Amino acid sequence: MDLKKPLIIAGPCSAESEEQILSTAQGLAATGKVDYLRAGVWKPRTKPGCFEGAGVEALPWLSKARELTGLPIATEVANAKHVESTVPYDMDLLWIGARTAANPFSMQEVAEALRGTEKPIFVKNPVNGDVDLWCGAVERLAACGVKNIGLIHRGFSGFGAGKLRNAPMWHLALEMRRRMPELTMICDPSHICGCRQYLGDISQQAADLNYDGLMIESHCNPDVAWSDAKQQLTPDAFNALVEALKWRAGESNSESYQTALMGLREQIDSLDREILQLLAERMNVSENIGLIKRDNDVRILQEARWEDIMERTLTLSSTLGLSEQFLHTLLDAIHIESIDRQNKVMKK
Ligand code: PEP
Ligand code: MN
């Protein structure tokens, strides 16, 4: 897809009123940093009774904002009816939300409604951390002749996001990019963060991971926004955030940089080899434990012992400068492999 890099999409979470859309659009257009104005017209909400979007009534507000500011406009579609209602307003870009992307029935319906379109259609990652599901959503669009497909990484729910609203799980987005390298992939730091505080860091991280752009929620008066109030930025704050970002080059020919990089990479490769060697040795010891447990008729799992290892390791977190979350994931992987090895020798 022939889009500018970095591609910046900004605008309110939801279209609330004509005044709110026009005022936000004017503020954003004045920054000169926005490629598309976004606003949700139909809002998928977990609980009924929350603001569920202004619906079709909001579409002319967006088209008026485009007339007034010259900014191309974008909204979210979740079913065939949404797609059809946008036709008279000739949206410049559409995106499919995280809840819709997780549902193959909805994806199929939307893909058929979009059949043959040349507009950019962006697909958010499904709420759950399943790269196959994300790929499936893209494949359904492609099978219906949608030519310009992009990806939006907005984080995943239910993975211990810590201080963030949705865990970024960067490796899943990078795996998606590895599988579909030709697609434009942007990051949505607003839905990853859920608050304003971390937006700058997450946006910079996306830039450093070679994302093609960002989708950032911005509202003329964020504190009174009808949805996602805590994560939206005023157009001025949006401007400052984007201004501060560094879109660094992918490579440098500087000789000193190349030499330093090579040295550090050698260190990493050699440390990785050592880590793997140690893990192999550790698993052999696990296997020996399995053998003596078998010979003494003792079961594989002693919960207290495992809790002890976990606790001891997690207390090392700050001394080692390794996050508790990382240590947890690492120990879990070691534990699974260890149980698997003991299981095998038990059966011998
Ligand atoms: C949105 O972009 O406003 C939205 C609803 O996001 P998501 O689908 O990522 O939850
Ligand atoms: Mn939102």
- 234 with 219: CB under 8 angstroms? yes
Distance (Å) of CA 247 to CA 35, 130, 201, 239: 16, 28, 13, 15
Q: Which residues of the chain fall short of a pLDDT of 70?
A: 159-160
> Which atom of ligand 1 lies nearest, measured to the CA of 190?
2
Amino acid present at 278: L
pLDDT of residue 306: 86
pLDDT of residue 159: 66
Mutational test site, ligand 1, from 52, 191, 232, max ligand atoms within 8 Å of CB = 191
CA–CA gap between residue 9 and residue 112 (Å, rounded): 25
Task: Give me ligand 1 centre to Cα 191, in Å.
Answer: 7
* DSSP 8-state class, residue 145: T
CA–CA gap between residue 146 and residue 81 (Å, rounded): 18
Please name the residues in contact with 76: beta carbons below 8 A apart, sequence gap of 6 or more: 40, 41, 42, 82, 94, 95, 96, 97
> Which atom of ligand 1 lies nearest, measured to the CA of 191?
9
Closest CA to 15 of 49, 63, 70, 55: 55
Q: Which residues form ligand 1's pocket by a CB distance below 6 Å? A: 13, 40, 44, 97-98, 124, 154, 191
**Which residue's CA is the closest to the ligand 1 atom numbered 3?**
13
> CB atoms < 10 A from the CB of 203, how many?
24
Nearest ligand by distance to the CA of 187: 1
Task: Using DSSP bridges, classify how beta strands 36-38 and 73-76 pair: parallel, antiparallel or unpaired.
Answer: parallel
> Which atom of ligand 1 lies nearest, measured to the CA of 95?
2
Task: Give me ligand 1 centre to Cα 46, in Å.
Answer: 12
pLDDT of residue 325: 86
Task: Give me ligand 1 centre to Cα 113, in Å.
Answer: 20
pLDDT of residue 158: 75
Mutational test site, ligand 1, from 188, 190, 215, max ligand atoms within 8 Å of CB = 188
Q: Is 75 helix (H, G, I), strand (E, B) or coil?
A: strand
Burial label, 243 (beta-carbon count in 10 A; 0-12, 13-18, 19+): exposed
Nearest ligand by distance to the CA of 43: 1
Task: Give me ligand 1 centre to Cα 98, in Å.
Answer: 6
Task: Give me ligand 2 centre to Cα 216, in Å.
Answer: 9
Q: Is 39 helix (H, G, I), strand (E, B) or coil?
A: coil
**Which residue's CA is the closest to the ligand 1 atom numbered 10?**
98
Please name the residues in contact with 162: beta carbons below 8 A apart, sequence gap of 6 or more: 325
Closest CA to 198 of 157, 164, 234, 240: 164
**Which residue's CA is the closest to the ligand 1 atom numbered 4?**
97
> Which atom of ligand 1 lies nearest, measured to the CA of 188?
9
